[in-house]
Amino acid sequence: MRRALMVWGGWEGHTPKQAVERFVPFLQKNGFEVLVRDTLDAYLDKELLASLSLIVPCWTCGTLSGDQWKGLNEAVQSGVGLAGWHGGMCDAFRGNIDYQWMTGGQFLAHPGNIKDYVVHIENWDDPVTHGISDFTLKSEQYYMLVDPSNLVLATTTFDGVHDPLRKGVVMPYIWKRRWGKAKVFYSAIGHVAGDFDVVEARTLQERGMLWAAK
C-alpha cells in the first residue's frame, strides 16, 4: 500500500485542517495509507519520509527550520511526489527561496479579495484536465510569481476592475513540474475548504495528487 503524508497548519484563515480532511477519504479510496500531521517536525522523520509516495502540504506562511527543509527537500528530490493548493503550498515559508523554486511559484496578491473569476483550461489532453471545461469560482484570484519552466494546465485572466494596471494579465493557475526525481503538482484554487465544493476544483486537485504520487 502506498503512503501519503498530509501536513497542515499555519494561518487558520485557509482552514487547513478542514481542507486536508476533504481529501483523506479520496486518497484512502485510491489505495493510500494516509498519515495526517499538524507539525512541521514531520519532515524530520527520515524513516517516515522514506516510506512515502506523496506529500500534501497545507501550511500557509510559517518558517521551516534548516533541518525541516532538508528533510522535505531530500524526500522530494528522491522521488516522493508533492501536490498542494493555494497558500498552503505556494504562500508558505516566504523566507525560503529554495522552497519556492521547488513548488514553482509564490503568491503576491489577490486584487479584489473574494470575487467571481474564470479558470481556463489550457491543456485539454493532459490526464489531470481531460474532460474538464472552463469554470467559474467565487474566491480569491491569486496573482503570483511563477517559474516559466512549469507545464501550465490552467490559467486565469485579470479583468482590471480592482487593479487597472494588471488588466488582461493571463496568470498560470494550475501546473505540474519536476523536482529531482519527483513530480510536483500545484493548484492556486482552495482559499478555504468550501472552494472544493466546486466539482471541477476538487477533481483537478484529486487527479493532481494521483499524478504526483510515486
Tens of pLDDT, residues 84-126: 999 999 999 999 999 999 999 999 999 999 999 999 999 889 9
Cell numbers 476592475 correspond to what residue? 161
- The set of cell numbers assigned to 110 is 489577490
The model's pTM: 0.98
Say what the pLDDT of residue 112 is.
97
For the residues 21-38, what does the mean pLDDT come to?
98
Identify the CA nearest to 205 among candidates 86, 84, 91.
Answer: 84
Q: Does domain 2-212 have CATH number 3.40.50.880?
A: yes
pLDDT tens, position by position, 117-150: 999 999 889 999 999 999 999 999 999 999 999 9
Sign for the CA dihedral angle at 149, 144, 199, 4 comes to: positive
Helix axes 199-212, 16-29, angle to 10 degrees: 60
- The whole-number pLDDT of residue 38 equals 98
Q: What percent of the chain has pLDDT over 70?
A: 100
Q: Do residues 184 and 90 make contact, with C-beta atoms less than 8 angstroms apart?
A: no
Question: Domain map of the chain by residue range?
Answer: 2-212
- Mean pLDDT, residues 6-28 taken together: 98
Specify the pairing of strand 170-179 against strand 151-157: antiparallel
If you search the block for the grid coordinates 496578491, which residue do you land on? 109
Residues contacting residue 122 through CB under 8 Å, at least 6 positions apart: 129, 152, 153, 154, 155
Helices (H) and strands (E) in the chain, counts: 6, 11
- Residue entry with cell 497558500: 87
Residue 8 C-alpha cell reads as: 497542515
Tell me, what's the pLDDT at 64? Answer: 97
Lookup: cell for 7: 501536513
Q: What is the CA radius of gyration of the chain?
A: 16
pLDDT value of residue 208: 98
